[in-house]
Structures are given as structure tokens and as C-alpha cells.
Amino acid sequence: MKILITGGAGYLGSVMVPRLLQEGHAVTVLDNCMYGQTPLLDLCHDERFTFVRGDTRDKKLLEKLVKGSDAIFPLACLTGAPLCAKDPVGAQTILVDAVQSIAELSGRDQRIIFPTTNSGYGIGEKGKHCTEATPLRPISIYGRLKCDAEKVVLDSGHGITLRLATAFGASPRMRLDLLVNDFVYRAVYDRFIVLFEAQFKRNFIHVRDVAKAFMHALNNFDRMKNEPYNVGLSDANLNKMELCEEIKKHVPDFYFVEAAVGEDPDKRDYIVSNDKIEKAGFRPDVSLSMGIRELVKAYQILKRNQYANI
């Protein structure tokens, strides 16, 4: 198939694109490389890989690229609540308006697979799993815009949305701001962390399994289309204290404690059921423990040392 990926040079795209090429697909990536990242350089030898430097909000460019595509993965995003709050206009135009353009420019014979977020559940009910039927109650501009974009994709009549758990794991375009990635980094280099509101729970999924979920949706599109699916590890609905306990199994001298005062600005707190996508045949490959072990190794290569003395 011919696949267009907007934002394909990001954390997820740089894992997904090589996998799609290995499966025999032709892949076009549209990305403005806003972070100066170069994770796809080693793919330039592949005749089936095309890179277009540009903005997903450029409707004329988007029209040209969508026209020749069998499937579109709109990954372009200002990811996370802090970044979206800092640039709400950019967030609206990239997260929602550009996705609306893709829906308008594509036809029923084309496939849209869109990554939304299970942070749309906001604050869940204690002890009750959020399913795809649970009302969406986003508590950040990021969560709200992702939910708005999800509606656009599902209303198009030829889309699938994947409500992703918090991703973790090593990627050619690495992110250290994701919860597991951040906590493991602190365990490796600082050896301690102070937790705020440590009982807040969320779900997790490895970035390679996110790519696998996209492949699964692509290969099973007709029977999965026009539906949202939670995508996470069913055995990884953990709070921050439990996550630290898992990390300590790999970094024994890691010390963590909950602060008696203070608040976490991220108020998300929910547990998620992934039964629907599991019944559709998807199973993750990478456990949380495997991902932590991978990250410990990755941080022997990668270090955030711009202003550090050592």
C-alpha cells in the first residue's frame, strides 16, 4: 500500500516507518522537523521511502499527498498538555484543523488511522475500568483537542482511532518527557525521585506496540473501521508509586518517596480496559519490565547533559 504519515519523523513515526517499509509498503512522510530531528536518515536508500519537508496545515500540499495514498496516519501533533497550553492556536490548527482537512480531502476508499489518547478519560471512577463506551471528560486542552479530532475521523466513515495509553520505550527520535521514560532516566542518573500525588493511575504501552497496533488496524481495517480502540498493556494500570517499584527491580539503589505536600499539575487518574482491541486480535509484545530494561540500556547511550557538569 501507499501510506502517508504526517509527523512521521517523531517519537512514534520513527519507529513505525521502518516497520511499514519492512512489510513492503511505500511510505511518504510529511514533517517540518521542528525539533531538528533526523531519525529517518538511514531510510533514504529505500526507493519506497519519500520524505516531504512541510507543514500538515498546508492544504494544497496535503491535497497532493493525500490524493495518491491508500492510507493516512495523521501523527503530526503538538504532543502533551504543557506544549498545547503554551501554543493553543498551533495546537488547534495541527491537532484538529489539519485532521479535518485530511478527512475532507480523502475518500471512502482510503483508510485513516488516527492516534488519539486515553487521557480523554480525564479522571475516572475509582476501581472502574474506562472502556470505549465511557464518557470522555478531558481535563487539558491537549485531551480536548484529541477528542475533537477523534470525532472528525470517526464521522468521516472511513477511519479508526486508537486511544493510546502513555507510551514508553526507546525510539530514534527519543522523548524524555514521557512518564516511564522520565522516571527511568531519573532512576539511572539521579537515583531518587520525589512523587506528588503518587496514587494517580494511568495505563502504559510500548512505542513498538503502538506501531504494531497501527499495523493491526491497517490489516484488519474493514472489520475494525469507524470505531475507537483503547491500546495499552492490560497488566499495566499502575500508579506512580507502583511504577517506581517496577523500576527499582532493575535499578536496585533507586530511592523514591511521596511528598507530604504539593500537587501534580497532571490530574489524570484512571484505569483502562483494552478488551475491545484484544478481542479484535491484537496483543502487545513488550511488557513494562522489558521496556524498563531497554531504557536502562538506552540511557547508557543517551544523556540529558546540556548544562550538566558531568
Helix (H, G, I), strand (E, B) or coil at 209: helix
C-alpha dihedral, 99 to 101 to 105 to 110, nearest 10°: 0
Name the band, by pLDDT with cuts 50, 70 and 90, for residue 309: low
Beta carbons of 245 and 183 less than 8 angstroms apart: no
What amino acid is encoded at 310 in this protein? I
What whole-number distance in Å separates Cα of residue 111 and Cα of residue 113?
Answer: 6
C-alpha cell at 221: 481495517
- Average pLDDT of span 159-163: 98
Beta carbons of 27 and 16 less than 8 angstroms apart: no
What whole-number distance in Å separates Cα of residue 218 and Cα of residue 222?
Answer: 9
Could you give all domains of the chain from N- to C-terminal order, each with its CATH number?
A: 2-168+204-231 (3.40.50.720), 179-202+235-271+287-298 (3.90.25.10)
Instruction: Please determine, for residue 167, whether its predicted confidence score (pLDDT) is greater than 70.
Output: yes
What amino acid is encoded at 45 in this protein? H
What amino acid is encoded at 281 in this protein? G
Closest to 4 (Cα-Cα) out of 52, 59, 57, 43:
52
Give the residues across from 231 on adjacent strands: 164
How much is the mean pLDDT over the chain? 95
What whole-number distance in Å separates Cα of residue 297 and Cα of residue 288?
Answer: 14
C-alpha cell at 44: 533514504
Closest to 295 (Cα-Cα) out of 187, 203, 193, 218:
187
What whole-number distance in Å separates Cα of residue 218 and Cα of residue 162?
Answer: 12
pTM of the model: 0.95
DSSP secondary structure code for residue 121 in this structure: G
Instruction: Please determine, for residue 301, whether its predicted confidence score (pLDDT) is greater than 70.
Output: yes
Q: Which helix (H) or strand (E) holds 169?
A: none
Residues sharing a CB contact under 8 Å with residue 179, sequence separation 6 or more, in sequence order: 166, 168, 202, 204, 240, 243
- Average pLDDT of span 160-186: 96
Other Cβ atoms within 10 Å of 18 Cβ, number? 19
Beta carbons of 214 and 16 less than 8 angstroms apart: yes
What whole-number distance in Å separates Cα of residue 298 and Cα of residue 170?
Answer: 7
C-alpha cell at 63: 491535497
For residue range 54-76, list pLDDT tens digits in order.
999 999 999 999 999 999 999 99
Instruction: Please determine, for residue 164, whether its predicted confidence score (pLDDT) is greater than 70.
Output: yes
For residue range 248-271, list pLDDT tens digits in order.
999 999 999 999 887 777 778 899
C-alpha cell at 96: 484538529
- Average pLDDT of span 222-237: 97
